Amino acid sequence: RLLGAVGAAGATGLVLGAAGGAAAHAATSGDAPTALTTVGSATVAFHGEHQSGITTPLQARGHLIAFDLAPGAGHREAAALMRRWSTLAAELMAGRAAGDGDTGVALDAGPSSLTITFGFGRTFFDRTGLVTQRPAELDPLPAFSSDQLDDRRSNGDLWVQIGSDDALVAFHALRAIQKAAGEAARVRWQMNGFNRSPGATGRPMTARNLMGQVDGTRNPKPSEADFDRRIFVPSGTKYAWLAGGSYAVVRRIRMLLDDWEKLSPTKQERVIGRRKSDGAPLTGGTETTELALDRTGPDGKLVIPDNAHARISAPEQNGGAAMLRRPFSFHDGIDPDGTPDAGLLFVCWQADPLRGFVPVQRKLDRGDALSPFIRHEASGLFAVPGGPKKGEYVGQRLLE
């Protein structure tokens, strides 16, 4: 597949460099070729200590897809599948075609920061006879009082997260991954999400969700000293195959937008504890100013209410529990009664779900001001192995 045409000497050096040296050729000998924009040419590495799609900046388009191994498929088939998928992911992420049967959907475009991330659900270990290699962290998440989970859209033996800044590139990868599953695995559920397109804001900014809030401000940053400890499973862990990996908690959270949008902006801000316009705390400053959780107003009441989402979810209120939230918004149309089927494909990453998602969700479940406006409809927990070395496939350290 073409990664964009080669322009005049010099002009393309940058583009091809950014594309990681993937093959590119003049589109036609006659036409003046056009270089890809930086969006198209941006490439994320497939190999490395961690899988891609965890610390990669949010992409504009996302697909989540879960599979169950087919009846009769076990360890051998799973290993062959992970090898197939890994080869495919490396090709697609470098901007190349998906082999002979390529659909052509992504022709003309670059990988546009395509990432393909693979995880294993709890049941994967039963199906492959690898229960002794299953970490306790994959035990089912506790039930929460506000859960309204649909089992058919939850969990799964295998999970794949696809992200790209181009919708066609992302769809192309989704189809290729599904087809490469072949006879080994069947789709259990699939969800589609989106975020803002790169370049849509005048300068890089934290994303907004479909409630209009600036969302992602207080995420741990890779530059912070304790980032790796919070997000990635350390080497020396009991299950060596998971070193450099992480746990992904996935929740399809419907937003009850009709109810939410009836609230005045002031009430909406009190639900979160931050200003809607710029994400700054209600106690003042800018988006990055610390929340002054103890500050009271002239009426003697806390400025950031007791049940404000940003207060309850803060690590300081949860014994340090932290996670990297990396969601996509979703909109799956409008129900017959006019209600939008929209919300957040909440994906969060942590070294241990019992020190990340679980304690925070427990606390939110007990009294988050946001609860009346959301509904958790599906859930998944997946162990995401570390990144593959050159020549290795994802999960090889577990499956070989």
Give the interface with ligand HEM as residue ranges (CB under 6 A): 209, 211, 213, 215-218, 251, 253, 255, 272, 274, 279, 309-310, 313-315, 323, 325, 343-344, 346, 357, 360-361, 364, 370, 374
Q: Are 163 and 113 in contact (CB under 8 A)?
A: yes
Q: Hey, which residues does 67 pair with through a beta bridge? A: 158, 187
User: Which among 161, 140, 137, 156 has a CA at the least distance from the CA of 383?
Assistant: 137
Closer by beta carbon to ligand HEM, 309 or else 355: 309
The CB-nearest residue to ligand HEM is 218
Of these residues, 68, 157, 165, 215, which one is catalytic?
Answer: 215
Closer by beta carbon to ligand HEM, 221 or else 238: 221
User: Which among 172, 159, 81 has a CA at the least distance from the CA of 117?
Assistant: 159
Q: How far is the CB of 351 from ligand HEM (least distance, A)?
A: 15
Closer by beta carbon to ligand HEM, 74 or else 315: 315
Tokens of 195: 């975020």
Q: Are 161 and 347 in contact (CB under 8 A)?
A: yes
Q: How far is the CB of 366 from ligand HEM (least distance, A)?
A: 12
230-234, long-range: CB within 8 Å, 24+ apart, which pairs?
230/322, 230/323, 230/324, 230/350, 230/351, 230/356, 231/54, 231/55, 231/323, 231/324, 231/349, 231/350, 231/351, 232/50, 232/351, 232/386, 233/351, 233/352, 233/386, 234/351
3-state helix, strand, coil in the chain (%, to 5): 25, 20, 55
Closer by beta carbon to ligand HEM, 179 or else 366: 366
Closer by beta carbon to ligand HEM, 128 or else 361: 361
* Whether residue 215 lies in the annotated active site: yes
Q: How far is the CB of 362 from ligand HEM (least distance, A)?
A: 8
Q: How far is the CB of 292 from ligand HEM (least distance, A)?
A: 13
Q: How far apart are CA 330 and CA 336, in angstroms?
A: 18
Closer by beta carbon to ligand HEM, 169 or else 293: 293
Tokens of 43: 């490439």
Cα angle value 210/338/361 (rounded, 5°): 40
Q: How far is the CB of 276 from ligand HEM (least distance, A)?
A: 9
Closer by beta carbon to ligand HEM, 56 or else 206: 206
Q: How far is the CB of 341 from ligand HEM (least distance, A)?
A: 14
Q: Are 63 and 191 in contact (CB under 8 A)?
A: yes
Tokens of 145: 């009082």
Say which residues have a Cβ less than 8 Å from residue 373's Cβ, sequence separation at least 6. Answer: 211, 255, 256, 259, 260, 271
Q: Hey, which residues does 281 pair with through a beta bridge? A: 274
Q: Are 162 and 147 in contact (CB under 8 A)?
A: no
Q: Are 261 and 268 in contact (CB under 8 A)?
A: no
Active site residues: 215
